[in-house]
């Protein structure tokens, strides 16, 4: 991951609603959730939610797919893992095996 990409991702997460949206999507797994559910769960008006989702999508942190008229959003786990790797690549003085931070997150499998 390039520094500029990391800065873009961190900038997108440096806002309370966007961080909460991203954390919700990480918890929900790879299948994703409809935008309306995100707004209801986090009590964010849809017009505001749309702006925040756009910022996260432009930063490469989330994915969007359309199913009929509904937009489903999910965390972009490879991008999240790249960011975590970038942030921790020099962790524990270059001995990541001795580090207690998990290296990657694997999303829940769809049921």
pLDDT tens readout for residues 44-87: 999 999 999 999 999 999 999 999 999 999 999 999 999 988 88
Q: What is the pLDDT of residue 108?
A: 54
Angle at the Cα of 90 from the Cα atoms of 84 and 92, rounded to 5 degrees = 105
What is residue 73's three-state secondary structure?
Answer: strand
Q: What is the pLDDT of residue 87?
A: 86
Structure tokens at 49: 């939610």
Task: List, in order, residues 6 or more apart from 31 with CB less than 8 Å away.
Answer: 72, 74, 110
Q: What is the pLDDT of residue 105?
A: 61
Tell me the per-residue pLDDT of 84-104, one tens digit each, with 9 for 90 and over.
888 887 777 766 666 666 555
Q: What is the pLDDT of residue 1?
A: 76
Angle at the Cα of 27 from the Cα atoms of 22 and 33, rounded to 5 degrees = 75
Task: List, in order, residues 6 or more apart from 89 with CB less than 8 Å away.
Answer: 96
CATH class, domain 3-90, is mainly alpha
Q: What is the pLDDT of residue 97?
A: 67
User: Is 23's pLDDT higher than 80?
Assistant: yes
Entry pTM: 0.83
């Amino acid at each position: 991951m390039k520094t500029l990409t990391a800065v873009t991702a961190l900038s997108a997460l440096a806002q309370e609603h966007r961080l909460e949206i991203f954390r919700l999507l990480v918890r929900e797994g790879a299948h994703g959730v409809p935008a309306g559910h995100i707004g209801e769960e986090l009590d964010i008006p849809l017009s505001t939610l749309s702006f925040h989702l756009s910022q996260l999508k432009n930063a490469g942190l989330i994915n969007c797919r359309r199913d009929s008229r509904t937009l489903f959003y999910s965390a972009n786990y490879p991008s999240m893992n790249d960011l975590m790797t970038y942030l921790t690549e020099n962790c524990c003085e270059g001995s990541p095996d001795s580090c207690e931070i998990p290296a990657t997150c694997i999303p829940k499998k769809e049921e």
